[in-house]
Structure 1
Amino acid sequence: MSDDEEKPNMEETRLKMSKNVTLAVKLNGMNYPLWKRLMRVDIVGRRANRYITGTPQPPEPGMKGYTEWEEADMTVFSWIIDNVETEIVVDFAHHQTAQALWESLQTTFESTADPYLLYDLEENAGRIEQGEHGLETYWRHLHGIWVEIDRCQHQPVDCCDEGISQLRTYVATRRLFKFLTGLNARYDGIRRDILKETPLPSAETAYGLVKQEATRLKIMPAADIDLQTGAINDGSSSGQVGHGFAVRNQPPPRPKQPPPRIAAQQPNRQGGFKPDKSKFWCSHCGKQRHTRDTCFLLVGFPEWWDENQKAKARLAIGVEDGGGLFLQGAGNREMTNTRGRAGDTSPQPGGGGRPGDAAFAEKK
């Protein structure tokens, strides 16, 4: 057996013993360009490209070496079909060879020179901006759209090498401008520097420069100047270092005032809580901490109120003289008889006092 005959047999044996191919994505009908690229890389990398291209010509059935070729071809067929979604597999599993399966998938899912697809890709490329995305994510999305555009459109210039070169320069300049206009405002400095270069760099070169600037900004943040105080804020985490000399002349910040205290409520005899009486005022006796409705001089003293406390209450609003009580107030003295009923607030004749000045108490 010659060396030429042994070489295919050795490759076919190696293919049968090789491991299965598992791609990062499976063909779902919408990702064919990416899937085709990844699938072809694995097939060519295993030296099995001839099973999907048909070059060289495979042996005819019944000829010598056909059985070995068919076994290797079914191995490549399984690599492809294992990386296709289940709902698509049922429509393509009837093919007999890996080449027939490969060409059928290409015919079904590959779009070339589709004006609607090109329109959609160009529109997406024009709308895309960095926004909240990272620099790498923005570049990856934009560059992926450009790859799709190049794959879908025909070469419009084929007259000469100079015309093709000029077209490529024009397209590269447009893509550079698109990449720069979509960047966030924090890259204004490097954007101006790139536009000053002559000749203009490619979009790929500009991305490398912007990525270098992004790394520098992470390590050495740009300083911001406070226009009101003149202090320089360099983004330091402490908030005290790097703010310039103006910070030294600034008065220290005022400490935060504690919240006003709420008067504590004391439990009463029934186990509940008393309301805050500091703002109560009685219109009858003129005293605080109670109202007219609860004034003992009107409603009567409770049983637990002893005689000493009653006397203190009388002395608090006047002095006792004989059978009546003389109230002191504004130079007038009014005598009232307190032997009557509790709650009798009518003044006696000859008083002359103002309403509300009289107070009644039971004579001790």
Structure 2
Amino acid sequence: MLIALSVKNKIGFIDGSIAQPDSSDPVLLNSWHRNNNIVISWILNSVSKEISASIIFAESAALIWLDLKDRFQQSNGPRIFQLRRELINLAQEQLSVSHYFTKLKGLWDELSNFRPNCTCGKCTCGGVKELTAHHQMEYVMAFLMGLNDTYAQIRGQLLLLDPLPPINKVFSLISQEERQRTIGPQSTNNSQTMAFAVKGDSKRKNVATTAMKQSRGSRRDNNNRPFCTECHIHGHTVDTCYKIHGYPPGYQRAKSIE
């Protein structure tokens, strides 16, 4: 609601800085009533019907805002305790680096709103700058502590730096490491697949080459051996063919397969 009112330049109607003018200037008074009623209508539309029934008769938006603040504003202690406990228990686990950092940033930014800040602009000792640097160092530490142990190497390298890089730079480096790990195994598998393919092709080529050489050698050997024109078998000629001249005593013929 504060963001919406600030955009419309109506914060002064709820914090009382734009007070109701006197009746001496009717034009200004009418303008104030018109803007005050606009803010009241926005507030009524933003709360439940049960709450709006209890504030509808208020005279100004400032009174309505003060009433709601007194009734519903909670103390900061329980919320700070809850935020710190969530930060301590937050870990990456199965989350991606981006998702883990987003959750951490939401908790850290909300917790930072409860920290007191020096806004006077008159500090000359440099203490505010040192406090801001220490706050950022704690931010980086909280992020690195919640990372998985698989990032132990790059986490150790970052902790050796003095001073530590800003949180956005640390997040960028960890994200690059995560993307590099996603790309690395895939390229390795592709290289192994290509190596196996080349090795398989070479093996098949060697087998084919060996078979061709054996076939050529067999043909050359058969061409050099004698050939019988009667039984069409290599190893003898027609002059010594058993089928023509008879088998020697004690020769055992091979049994024919029926």
TM-score range, shorter chain: 0.5 to 0.7
After superposition, the C-alpha distances for 1:155-196 in whole angstroms (9 at most, x for unaligned) are 69x998444433333332222111012123554554344334
Give the SS at the match of 2:184.
coil
Matching of residue 132 in structure 1 with residue 94 in structure 2: yes
What does residue range 208-219 of structure 1 map to in structure 2 within 5 Å? 208-214=172-178
Matching of residue 242 in structure 1 with residue 205 in structure 2: no
After superposition, the C-alpha distances for 1:24-81 in whole angstroms (9 at most, x for unaligned) are xxxxxxxxxxxxxxx2222222222322232243214685232331122111122223
Aligned pair in 2 of structure 1 residues 83, 213: CA closer, same or farther (>3 Å)?
Answer: farther
Which letter maps to 2:79? L
Point out where structure 1 has 5 or more consecutive residues left out of the alignment. Answer: 1-38, 224-232, 253-364
Partner Cα separation in structure 1 for residue 68 and residue 102 of structure 2: 26
Point out where structure 2 has 5 or more consecutive residues left out of the alignment. Answer: 202-258
Instruction: Report the alpha carbon displacement of residue 88 of structure 1 after superposing the two structures with TM.
Output: 4.0
Which letter maps to 1:74? N
Aligned pair in 2 of structure 1 residues 76, 135: CA closer, same or farther (>3 Å)?
Answer: farther
Instruction: Report the alpha carbon displacement of residue 217 of structure 1 after superposing the two structures with TM.
Output: 5.2
Partner of 2:232: none
What does residue range 146-165 of structure 1 map to in structure 2 within 5 Å? 146-154=108-116, 161-165=125-129
Instruction: Report the alpha carbon displacement of residue 244 of structure 1 after superposing the two structures with TM.
Output: 6.7
Partner Cα separation in structure 2 for residue 86 and residue 242 of structure 1: 67
What does residue range 280-295 of structure 1 map to in structure 2 within 5 Å? none
Partner of 1:118: 80
Aligned pair in 2 of structure 1 residues 137, 244: CA closer, same or farther (>3 Å)?
Answer: closer
Matching of residue 41 in structure 1 with residue 7 in structure 2: no
After superposition, the C-alpha distances for 1:244-290 in whole angstroms (9 at most, x for unaligned) are 776469889xxxxxxxxxxxxxxxxxxxxxxxxxxxxxxxxxxxxxx
2:13 maps to which of 44, 51, 57? 51
Kindly indicate which of the two structures has a greater share of residues assigned to strand: 1
Structure with the bigger RCO (C-alpha within 8 Å, sep 6+) is: 2
Identity value in percent: 21
- Cα RMSD of the aligned pairs, angstroms, is 3.7
1:180 maps to which of 144, 152, 159? 144
Partner Cα separation in structure 1 for residue 132 and residue 8 of structure 2: 34
Taking structure 1 as the reference length, the TM-score comes to 0.45
Taking structure 2 as the reference length, the TM-score comes to 0.60
Instruction: Report the alpha carbon displacement of residue 123 of structure 1 after superposing the two structures with TM.
Output: 1.2
Aligned pair in 2 of structure 1 residues 112, 200: CA closer, same or farther (>3 Å)?
Answer: farther
Which letter maps to 2:99? T
1:106 maps to which of 69, 76, 80? 69
Alignment length, in residue pairs? 197
What does residue range 8-47 of structure 1 map to in structure 2 within 5 Å? 39-47=1-9
Partner Cα separation in structure 1 for residue 132 and residue 54 of structure 2: 40
Whichever of the two has the greater Rg, that structure is 1
Instruction: Report the alpha carbon displacement of residue 124 of structure 1 after superposing the two structures with TM.
Output: 0.9
Partner Cα separation in structure 1 for residue 126 and residue 55 of structure 2: 45
Partner Cα separation in structure 2 for residue 70 and residue 153 of structure 1: 37
Partner of 2:131: 167
